[in-house]
Structure 1
Amino acid sequence: MPIKLPSDLPAFHVLTREGVQVMDEDAASRQDIRPLRIGLLNLMPKKIQTENQFARLIGATPLQIELSLIRMSEHQTRNTAAEHMESFYRPFSDVRETGEKFDGLIITGAPIEHLPFEDVTYWDELCAVFDWTQTNVHSTFGVCWGGMAMANYFHGVEKHMLPHKLFGCYRHSNLAPQSAYLRGFSDDLVMPVSRWTEMRREEMEAQGLAVLLHSEEVGPALVEDRARRALYIFNHLEYDSDTLNEEYQRDLANVQVEGAEIQIPVNYFPDNDPALTPQNRWRSHAHLLYGNWISEIYETTPYDISKIGLESTDLRG
């Protein structure tokens, strides 16, 4: 089944060219099924790139998906055209006021990890989002800073600043092969990482959180918060093949301006040579993870979407 997107959203045309099944509103209305409603609270500066990355993954399942783009109500982006935001995004305040419910919600990262959580300009509203997920969202997926923020808000787990940026492709171990979210996963896998902070395994497990994927080099990567019907991933399986290179080139450009120390992404370029094209070694696991997440939602969400938040708070009862 395809993912339902507005026909004039850039992701519609990008995914169509890639062979991903997409449909517009007219085509979707002719199918006598209930699509899964998935929200994307996009906190990243490059909105369109992020839309493409997540739409690509959740649109590759056998189910019909209706993707809704959500933004913080007062925060104004400087990296995406106002016309795009006005055409395709709804402020969270509107979504909450209308009482809408979602089968799933993805909360992205944001390039603000150097700030204490409470110093983020939209922190109060984001906390309201977190509370709202407990009554209006069946399953929430927090990505990178978004996942750290959820773990901090719900469980008081602290993020720790690192002496240097974790940047590159790192091997991770599968600690829970029996997990439905890791169905089909290898015993170990490569994941792109780009962050200055970490959350520690022992501190998360002390709060009853289950670490599913872990790296000896960069710490926990995927964490299940069963009580909150949530997953937290601190790394970036959704990244395109060239995303780390784009970040590297951006950092190189900033050297002349800020004098920042630049490191080549670890284990990313062939032979550690930035002149060579990097190979994507994580795409299959990205599709597995998000496909498994969508599958779990489909199997456990109420058919009557209005009952989300009123039935069992546990995805498996």
Structure 2
Amino acid sequence: MPIRIPEQLPAQDVLLGENIFTMDSDRAAHQDIRPLEVGILNLMPNKIETEVQILRLLSNTPLQINVDLIRIDNQAPKNTPQSHMDAFYHDFSQVAEKKYDGLIVTGAPLAHLQYTKVKYWDTMVTILEWAQRHVQSTLYLCWAAHAAMYHFHGVQRKLREDKLSGVYEHQVLDPNNELLRGFDPVFYAPHSRYGHIRSDVYESVPGLRVVAASAEAGAYVIASEDKRRVFVTGHPEYDALTLHDEYQRDTAAGQQPAVPVNYYPNDDPSLPPLVRWRSHGSLLVTNWLNYYVYQTTPYDLEQLASKAQPTR
């Protein structure tokens, strides 16, 4: 089944070129089913690139999904035209009364800022608390995963001296967890971050379980027992060249970044990257939609209020 996205969203042409089925509002109105309502809080500067990456992951499911793109403030984003934001994004205040089956919160390039120093941190806290009452299950990616751990559980990340960048080997730790259904025992996933929280720290929080991890990159997928929160410390959504573009950007800025691990053949940046994470990235999001969202969400989304859980 298709994903429903705003008409004329640039991602639509990209997805159609990949034979991914999308539909506009008129056609969706004639579908005699209750589609899933999914919000995407996009914190990345390049909104369009991130939209395509996440919508691609959402498309690989038999479920019909209505997607709302949400922005956290009205400031002009870096690398994205203001006209695009005005045409396709909702201010949080416009959706604050709405209930969602699922919410995805992206990463953000805020590695070295304390959370409370982030200009939109107060709004971020409001949205995190709002999701407790208005969203069945929330998927937090990279920076957002660490930010949510800090807010909900008081867990402070540590900052690495060097950036964790590359494609790392991971192990399935809980093969019975639905998020990992169909996963190979060993799989690969991209990481691009400075922040780090040890696996035993996640495990020390009541109700949380590390279900996939890497010997080099640490905890990768952490899930709450009630399926309301999923923390993913890496980037299953990344395109083939995303790490390459980051490496080239940092090199051009004179930062002398290390070559991303296990990414280029023979660690040679002149060679095309070796892509080996797409299938598991797609499966992770599909499993989240199926088992953590669709299988648990009430038919009447107004019933979500009774599912609100206390934080720390």
Same fold judged by TM-score > 0.5?
A: yes
Deviates more, 1:304-313 or 1:32-41: 304-313
Asked if the contact 2:160/2:196 (under 8 Å) is kept, the reply is yes
1:250 paired to 2:249: yes
- Please name the residue that 2:66 is paired with: 66
The correspondence for 2:258, drawn from 259, 263, 266, is: 263
- The letter for the 2-side match of 1:285 is H
Cα distance change of structure 1 residues 152 and 306 upon mapping to structure 2, 3 Å threshold: same
CA distance in 1, matches of 2:99, 2:73: 18
Which letter maps to 1:210? R
Secondary structure, aligned partner of 1:147: helix
Cα distance, 1:129 vs. partner? 0.4
Task: Provide the secondary structure at the position in 2 that maps to 1:196.
Answer: strand
User: Contact conserved, 1:134 with 1:228, CA < 8 A, in 2?
Assistant: no
Contact 2:133 2:308 in 1 (8 A): no
Find the counterpart in structure 1 of residue 93 from structure 2.
93
Change (3 A) 1:248 1:311: closer
Q: What's the CA shift string for 1:182-215, capped at 9, x where partnerless?
A: 0000111111111111011111111122101111
Cα deviation for residue 228 of structure 1 reads 7.1
Deviates more, 1:210-219 or 1:37-46: 210-219
- Which residue, out of 298, 303, 306, partners 1:302? 298
1:279 aligned onto 2:278: no
Deviation at 1:113, TM superposition (A): 1.6
For residue 239 of structure 2, what is the amino acid of its counterpart?
D
Report how far residue 163 of structure 1 moved. Answer: 1.5
Q: Determine the structure 2 residue equivalent to 1:217.
A: 216
Query: Secondary structure of the residue that 1:309 maps to in structure 2?
Result: helix
Q: Could you tell me how far apart the structure 2 residues matched to 1:311 and 1:112 are?
A: 31
Question: Which deviations, in whole Å up to 9, do the C-alpha atoms of 1:12-33 show, x marking residues without a partner?
Answer: 1110110111111111111100
Letter aligned with residue 276 of structure 2: R
Give me the TM-score of the superposition, normalised by structure 2: 0.96
Q: Which residue identity does 2:306 align to in structure 1?
A: L
Contact 1:148 1:159 in 2 (8 A): yes
Cα displacement (A) at 1:76 = 3.3
Tell me if structure 2 keeps the 8 A contact 1:71–1:91: yes
SS class of match (1:274) = coil
The Cα of 1:311 is off from its aligned counterpart by: 4.5
> How many residues matched?
308
Tell me, in whole angstroms, the C-alpha distance in 2 between the residues paired with 1:311 and 1:150: 18
Q: Aligned match of 1:138 in 120, 136, 139?
A: 136
Give the aligned partner of residue 197 of structure 2. 199
- What secondary structure sits across from 1:310 in the alignment? helix
C-alpha root-mean-square deviation of aligned residues, in Å?
A: 1.4
Query: In structure 2, what is the equivalent of residue 56 of structure 1?
Result: 56
CA distance in 2, matches of 1:46, 1:278: 21
Paired amino acid for 2:298 = P
CA-CA distance at 1:293 after TM superposition: 0.6
Question: Which of 120, 125, 128 does residue 123 from structure 2 map onto?
Answer: 125
Residues 1:192 and 1:238: Cα distance change in structure 2 (over 3 Å): same
Counterpart of 2:4?
A: 4
SS in 2 for 1:221: strand
| Cα distance per residue 1:59-94 (max 9 Å; x no partner) | 110010111000013443122100000000011122
Q: Deviation digits for residues 148-196 of structure 1, max 9, x if unmatched?
A: 1111100011100102111111111110110011000011111111111
Contact kept? 1:15, 1:52, Cα under 8 Å:
yes
Contact 2:133 2:307 in 1 (8 A): no
SS at match of 2:210: strand
Give 2:41's aligned residue: 41
**Per-residue CA shift, 1:81-132, capped at 9, x if unaligned?**
0000000001112211xx1010000000100021111111111110010100
> C-alpha separation between the residues in 1 aligned to 2:178 and 2:194?
30
Q: Measure the CA separation in 1 of the matches of 2:286 and 2:194.
A: 28
Q: Which runs of 5+ in 2 are unaligned?
A: none
In structure 1, give the amino acid aligned to 2:247.
Answer: Y
| Counterpart Cα distance in 1 of 2:75 and 2:241 | 28
**Counterpart contact for 2:168–2:188, Cα < 8 Å:** yes
Q: Separation in 2 of the partners of 1:291 and 1:228?
A: 14
- Partners of 2:13 and 2:223 lie apart in 1 by 34
Structure 1 residue 225, shift from structure 2 partner: 2.2
Return the offset for 1:304.
1.1
Pair 90,109 (structure 1): closer, same or farther in 2 beyond 3 Å = same
Q: Deviations over 1:240-261 (max 9, x none)?
A: 0111101111111111xxxx22
Q: Distance in 2 between matches of 1:2 and 1:176?
A: 31
